[in-house]
Chains A and B, each alone.
Chain A
Amino acid sequence: MPILSLDPRVNRLQVEQVPEHQPPVLVPGDHWPSYQVFHQRRRGEKHSSVGIVHAPSLEMAMAMAKEQFGRRGETSNLWVVCTADVLEMDYADEEVFRTTPSKSYRDPAGYKVNEKIDAYKAKQTP
């Protein structure tokens, strides 16, 4: 039975009702692979990961990314990367970096000399 809609566009489609028992309309892969999108707001700023688009190719992924992540606000540049090409660290390895923030020998704040200098100066003046 054709559907009578309030939307003239839907009526032009001449849509039939969905039968009760639907075979799957889509098979895996129909909606293409995914791409990771990186967005730069202004020149000079860094590109940041903003999300994902599905596309058949890098070029189409870029077109999708412009539409999805550039339609509002400022955009200066975009990168797209095929998700399958990204190597992600295992979150279980997070532990390896746990002590990094406390490695003061790698940090400018880990080197305080003013006390030494003051003490030296105090000793020099009779």
Chain B
Amino acid sequence: MYGGGYIPAGVEETKAQAESPELLAQFEARITRGEKIEPRDWMPAVYRKQLIRMIEQHAHSEIIGALPEGTWITRAPGFRRKLALMAKVQDEVGHAQLLYSAAETLGKKREDMLNDLINGKSKYSNVFNYPAETWADVAVIGFLIDAAAIVNQVANSKGSYGPYCRALERICYEESFHLKQGHSVFVWLATGTPMQREMLQNALNRWWEPIMHFFGPSDTMSQHTETLMRWKVKMATNDVMRQQFLNIYVPKIWDLGLSLPDPELRKDESTGQWLFTEPNWDTFFKVINGDGPCSRERLAVRKVAEERGAWVRAALRRADARYATPLA
């Protein structure tokens, strides 16, 4: 799962053109022909930088994303739900591994990425800085956050960078299981006792704003997406992805007689576009900058895992280990 809509800082297009107009033209022609870029191909420095940032943010989101849902593994209602949740959380960590390797092919070491996660230099999706207060939060995350992530990841899997596309293909396949099991938990609660329904409704109300934040600020607020889209780094605008998500999932929520905490939310049948109240973007930026309800806990847990696991890794390490950039 991932919220990749927000890529901070803009692309400096002119810098790319200054590098080598000839190589840049070949690079762009390859992308236009629909061919993939592979790790040791020439690429503009800006392309490399943005891809590292994006894949790294995605990897961090997966590894941190395992934490909110992991909260409920010990108390999952029933053995099958527990098995499914453990499998899902393991998948998320596996996705992080695939993505760190994809980013590593671009030249940033895995250790450096994890350091930048812990010291707050690189970001991850905002949604994982919110707590999973009840079992119903697990339903909302598994169903709707994973659904939003799929919209984003299916788009990105058609991008231009080979290793990222290959990782995403596998990830999307596994995410579809996450979505299905999340939907199952969601439907069970929605069709359950009045208390279960109330628990689910409360979780939906809590998560709606983070979900609306998920795809990032409106395109009118984001800068420089044009170059990233031409290079197939970014495959769809934030607004387009948000609309796709609303169009598929809002009806499924309403169908179950549940409500969403936005009185303006409705589909304009004449334009086919969904209308909604803009979520509070100040909150979004505050959370991105490390001030979310669980931000400190998430990073502290990650840091402890690295620190307290260090002796095991050191004990297994061989003196003759040779580093080579992963192939793909």
A positions within 8 Å CB-CB of B: 3, 5-10, 13, 15-18, 21-22, 24-34, 36, 49-54, 56-57, 60, 67-68, 71-72, 82-84, 86, 88, 90-91
Specify the chain A residue showing the minimal Cβ separation from B304.
Answer: A15
Q: Which residues of A contact B114 (CB under 8 A)?
A: 25-26, 31
Q: Tell me the bound Cα distance from A16 to B104 in angstroms.
A: 30
A27 touches B326 (CB 8 A): no
Closest beta carbon of chain B to A114's beta carbon, Å: 37
Q: A15-B300, A15-B304, A17-B296 are in contact. Are A84 and B324 (CB under 8 A)?
A: yes
What 1/0 mask marks residues of chain B from 30 to 44 whose CB sits below 8 Å from any chain A CB? Answer: 000000001011000
Interface centre among B40, B98, B316, B327 (most CB of A within 10 A): B327
Q: Is the CB of A56 within 8 A of B40?
A: no
Complexed CA–CA distance, A70 and B67 (Å)? 23
Binary contact track B47-74/A, C-beta < 8 Å → 1, others 0: 0000000000000000000010011011
30 contacts between A and B (CB under 8 A): A3-B297, A3-B300, A5-B297, A6-B131, A7-B71, A10-B297, A15-B300, A16-B300, A18-B120, A18-B300, A22-B303, A24-B119, A25-B307, A27-B111, A29-B111, A29-B321, A31-B111, A32-B313, A33-B321, A34-B101, A34-B324, A51-B101, A56-B313, A57-B318, A67-B94, A68-B94, A82-B324, A83-B324, A83-B325, A84-B323
In the complex, what residue of chain A is closest to B323 when comparing beta carbons? A33
CB distance from A91 to the nearest CB of B (A): 5
Complex Cα spacing A69 to B314, Å? 25
**Residues in A whose Cβ lies below 8 Å from that of B318:** 56-57
Cα distance, A123 to B303, chains bound together (Å): 87
Partner of B306, one of A25, A50, A68, A71: A25
- How far is A5 from B133 in the complex, measured between Cα atoms in Å? 10
Q: How far is the CB of B168 from chain A (nearest CB, A)?
A: 12
A6 to chain B, nearest CB (A): 5
B90:A71 contact, CB within 8 angstroms: yes
B71 to chain A: closest residue by CB: A7
Give the distance in Å from the alpha carbon of A36 to the alpha carbon of B101 in the complex: 11
> Chain B residues with Cβ under 8 A from A29's Cβ?
111, 317, 321, 323
A10-B322 contact given A18-B118, A91-B40, CB 8 Å threshold: no
Given A34-B326, A84-B323, A91-B40, A53 contacting B306 (CB threshold 8 A): no
In whole angstroms, what is the CA distance A11 to B167 when docked?
A: 33
Instruction: Write out the residue numbers on chain B whose beta carbons fall within 8 Å of the beta carbon of A10.
Output: 67, 71, 297, 301
B12, CB-defined interface residue at 8 Å? no
Q: How far is the CB of A62 from the nearest CB of chain B, in Å?
A: 14
Interface size on B, residues (CB 8 A): 54
The distance in angstroms between the C-alpha atoms of A33 and B303, with both chains bound, is 21
**Cβ-defined contact, A56 with B317, below 8 A:** yes
Asked if B101 and A52 sit within 8 Å, CB to CB, the answer is yes
Once the chains are docked, how many angstroms separate the CA of A3 from the CA of B301?
Answer: 10
Is B109 among interface residues, defined by CB-CB distance under 8 A? yes
Distance A68 CA – B101 CA, assembled complex (angstroms): 13
Measured between beta carbons, the chain A residues less than 8 angstroms from B282 are none
Partner of A28, one of B111, B167, B307: B111
Question: Which residues of B have CB within 8 Å of A82?
Answer: 322, 324
CA gap between A57 and B315 in the complex, in Å: 12
Q: How far is the CA of A91 from the CA of B166 in the complex (A)?
A: 18
User: Does B22 touch A at the CB level, under 8 Å?
Assistant: no
- Contact flag A33-B70 (CB < 8 Å), given A6-B132, A25-B114: no
Asked if B40 contacts A88 (CB within 8 A), the reply is yes
- Expressed in whole angstroms, the Cα–Cα distance for A8 and B166 within the complex equals 36
Tell me the complex Cα distance, A53–B100, Å.
10
Complex CA gap A17/B299 in Å reads 8
**What CA separation (Å) do A22 and B307 show in the bound complex?**
12
